[in-house]
């Protein structure tokens, strides 16, 4: 009974141990991870190992490491690298990021000695975590995450209430992304559509310029992610150039003119990776026109409306995106 109780107690203690994720990128990292497991076997930590393709930039590595730690519910994450003749050990816990360099040992058994030194470094870093605190030591803060170019070009369609098939056009975005966040300038163009009544016939275009910000809520920002799901919020000014091409009997077409309206566009966005840098993105949302334009004819009795756009217009956009995460 005492033996069983001791075994159960040990299992329970291990279940409460702090989880540490080891990222491995190749056979060398697997050998390092195995040595680390041996070095921390007596600490109150649970080691979880997983393969991860890490980008070369340290800042981008930090983004991947934090995303993997969140997926595995790990309190800290450790990964390895190389700089010249030195091993590099990186560890992150929350906002705390530590970097250790281990010079490679020369002579007989140099490879084994270097790996042993890496294991000792990780053990030193994890002792504070095992004691209920933070990873130990003073280390370098990893470089800030680099900005990535973000470019999209594709089709967009909006149901404006004047045509059962909607109004179709071209949408473009040019900006940058960092981690899960995106921001860009936006341009959209809808060729002229015809609005008509017995009083007049008009051609109306849509030209829009604005900005958009987005956040990927699902799908880590790394090379292994195949899908992303996010939310976007855009704001723009939309211009509606109007040309009257015909007028009813007794009426004279007026000169061409334009109407303006501020527009707010919330949307959800799903993206599927096609290649390391290109994605197919679908956005579904709505345009909220804060000042929807009306088009009509001024007569002797007042203003007769020919057409008016909806204040809320459903919108869809399908685009090819460049995002080299």
Are 137 and 125 within 8 A, CB to CB? Answer: yes
**Nearest 10 degrees: CA dihedral of 283, 284, 290, 295?**
100
pLDDT at 251: 75
Block mean pLDDT (10 aa), the chain, length 325: 44 57 86 85 86 81 84 88 78 81 62 78 77 60 67 93 82 92 95 80 90 88 77 95 79 81 96 89 95 79 75 95 82
Question: Which class is domain 148-323?
Answer: mainly beta
Question: Of the candidates 261, 265, 273, 259, which has an alpha carbon nearest to the alpha carbon of residue 156?
Answer: 265
- What pLDDT sits at residue 221? 64
Helix (H) or strand (E) holding 256: none
pLDDT the model gives residue 52: 84
* Dist. CA 104–CA 85, nearest whole Å: 6
Looking at residue 144, its pLDDT comes to 52
Q: Residue 214: its pLDDT value, please?
A: 94
Q: The domain 15-130: what is its CATH number?
A: 3.40.50
DSSP string, 46-63: EEEEEE----SSHHHHHH
Q: Check residue 234 and give its pLDDT.
A: 96
Write down the pLDDT at residue 152: 96
Q: How far, in Å, are 51, 86, 180, 247, 318 from residue 293 at the CA level?
A: 56, 66, 36, 20, 26
Asked if 281 and 182 touch (Cβ cutoff 8 Å), the reply is no
Where do the structural domains in the chain lie, given as residue ranges?
Answer: 15-130, 148-323
């Amino acid at each position: 009974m005492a033996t069983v109780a001791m075994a159960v107690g040990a299992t329970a203690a291990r279940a409460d141990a702090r989880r540490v994720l080891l990222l491995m990128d190749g056979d060398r990292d697997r050998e390092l991870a195995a040595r680390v497991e041996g070095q921390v076997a007596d600490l109150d930590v649970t080691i979880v190992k997983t393969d991860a393709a890490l980008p070369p930039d340290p800042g981008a590595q930090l983004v991947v490491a934090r995303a993997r730690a969140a997926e595995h519910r790990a309190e800290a994450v450790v990964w390895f690298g190389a700089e010249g003749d030195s091993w590099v050990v990186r560890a992150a816990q929350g906002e705390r990021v530590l970097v250790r360099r281990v010079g490679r040992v020369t002579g007989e058994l140099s490879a084994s000695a270097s790996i042993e030194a890496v294991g000792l470094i990780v053990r030193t870093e994890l002792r504070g975590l095992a004691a209920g605190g933070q990873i130990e030591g003073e280390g370098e803060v990893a470089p800030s995450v680099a900005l990535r170019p973000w470019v999209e070009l594709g089709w967009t369609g909006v149901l404006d209430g004047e045509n059962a098939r909607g109004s179709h056009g071209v949408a473009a975005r040019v900006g940058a992304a960092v981690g899960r966040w995106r921001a860009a300038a936006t341009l959209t163009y809808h060729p002229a559509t015809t609005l008509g009544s017995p009083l007049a016939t008009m051609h109306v275009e849509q030209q829009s310029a604005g900005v958009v910000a987005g956040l990927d809520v699902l799908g880590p920002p790394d090379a292994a992610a195949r899908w992303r799901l996010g939310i976007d919020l855009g704001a723009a000014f939309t211009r509606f150039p109007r040309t009257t091409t015909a007028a009813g009997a007794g009426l004279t077409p007026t000169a061409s003119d334009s109407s303006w309206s501020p527009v707010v566009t919330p949307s959800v966005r799903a993206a599927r990776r096609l290649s390391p840098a290109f994605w197919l993105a679908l956005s579904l949302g709505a345009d909220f026109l804060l000042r929807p334009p009306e088009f009509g004819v001024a007569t002797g009795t007042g203003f007769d409306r020919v057409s008016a756009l909806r204040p809320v217009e459903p919108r869809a956009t399908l685009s090819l995106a460049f995002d080299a995460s």
